[in-house]
Chain A
Amino acid sequence: MDQPLDTVRRGIVALLPRLRRFALSLTGNASDADDLVQDAVERALRNLHRWQEGTRLDSWMFRLTQNLWIDTVRARGVRKAQPLETTEASHAAVDGAREVEARLIFADTNAALTKLPDEQRAAVALVLVEGMSYRDAADVLGVPIGTLTSRLYRARVALAAALAGEGADPAEVLS
């Protein structure tokens, strides 16, 4: 039985926090992330007949968001968004010191992510940030599991090296 439209709309509202987190991990800044989520929501509703009911709304929305971001990046011609605005880290500040710390972590992590190819970044966003299973993440990206895990592996090695700072030994596997 088809779900009433209201149920679908509320389902999307319930997904918004996760979609924003996902978009933030793809785009690296809060305003791009919210623009991306808004575009994705509007596109999802305009194409709702393409969603196969009985399949997961979240997977479909993540896929749409990811595809939209790839389109945006390509359209901009510039491969990377500007990750340097740490003030846009958009953390709900608890107090000054913690806010500064949170921004630093965000800036470092984001700078490391920005160096990754987009497809590796997406794998990180889905598995490490979203906590999806390999199967679900591969479905979202429309790639075989082996492709997903090899992207994830390369991303992990690069992130560990970047976040360790002191130039980790590249020969060290899963360093």
Chain B
Amino acid sequence: MTISDETLMAYLDGELSAEERTRIAAIIERDGVLKARLARQERVLAALKSAFDPALGQQVPERLVSAALTAPVSWRFRLRQTASQLFGGGEANFVPRSAVFAATLLAGVALGLAFQLMQGGSSLVAPEGERLMAQGPLADVLSQGLASENQGEGARVGVTFRSKTGALCRTFETGSQTENLAGVACRTSGGWTVTTLTQVPPRRNPYELAGSGMPAAIRGVVDEMIDGEPLDAAQERRARDEGWR
């Protein structure tokens, strides 16, 4: 009875089924040459173990622990987390995975953008912990602006809606004629968390109504996030007056 090298190796590495293993073990038991071959391989294994296993018991250098705990994390991951928290709620909730995913993709598109904005000292968004928060004129218009009002040149809000997790969220657009950003922000403790941010073509006509040209990508995210219908003008005003709770 011969055993292929392949089988012998699989035997050594514990890759055989219990039945096969028993069969091979019985053959090896009767074959001195096989036994010797196996013994040599066991010595190889023992040498490897004694060379490298001590590394497991050593104290890990502080610089490695510190890297694991503090090294910068990709923005895409942070935004995905934010999106997940906002759309996902607790474990008991049904989470439309696609919503989180769509937001992630979208956020991914704008990743470079978020960096540019922050590095350029943008007054529109700022990182805070693991979130990207609206600030300055963007935070102001999210807190105060109504879609029905003339919101001026800077940032404009589009639709306001309640997400499936209960947060009030608003679409927005900001920018100039050369650069235009669109996104979604949701009311969270401490302000407006930007869950989606993307670059859109500048508006040809500055008098175009906000919301009328909502980018398809943003519309898709809203469709996934929204619970019921968007707020109407009266509901929007009431939500503002009640502090977006």
Contacts and interface: CB of A to CB of B under 8 A. Distances in A.
A59 interface: no
Given A9-B68, A13-B69, A38-B64, A175 B40 contact: yes
Interface stretch (B77-85, B165-173, B195-203): B77-85
Interface string A1-26: 11011000100110011101100110
Contacts of B134: none
A13 B48 CA distance: 24
Contacts of B51: 25, 89, 105-106, 109-110
Contact of A42 (B58, B60, B67, B77): B67
> Interface residue tally of chain A, by bracket?
35 or more
Given A2-B84, A153-B5, A47 B74 contact: yes
B174 interface: no
Interface in B66-106: 67-69, 71-74, 76-78, 80-81, 84-85, 88, 91, 95, 100, 104
Interface stretch (B7-15, B136-144, B234-242): B7-15
A12 B72 CA distance: 14
A22 B52 CA distance: 8
Contact of B58 (A20, A48, A160, A175): A20
Contacts of B64: 16, 20, 34, 37-38, 41
Nearest to A11: B68
Contact of B108 (A13, A46, A49, A173): A49
Nearest to B84: A2
Interface string A53-95: 0000000000000000000000000000000000001111000
Given A20-B55, A46-B72, A174-B37, A1 B50 contact: no
Given A2-B100, A17-B55, 13 more contacts: A1-B88, A1-B95, A16-B65, A25-B48, A34-B63, A41-B71, A46-B71, A46-B72, A46-B73, A128-B45, A153-B5, A160-B43, A174-B41
Interface of B: 5-6, 8-10, 13, 15, 37, 40-41, 43-45, 47-58, 60-61, 63-65, 67-69, 71-74, 76-78, 80-81, 84-85, 88, 91, 95, 100, 104, 108, 130
Nearest 3 CB-CB pairings of A with B? A49-B76, A109-B51, A48-B77
Interface of A: 1-2, 4-5, 9, 12-13, 16-18, 20-21, 24-25, 33-34, 37-38, 41-42, 45-50, 89-92, 102, 105-106, 108-110, 124, 127-129, 133-134, 149, 152-153, 156, 159-160, 163-164, 168, 172-175
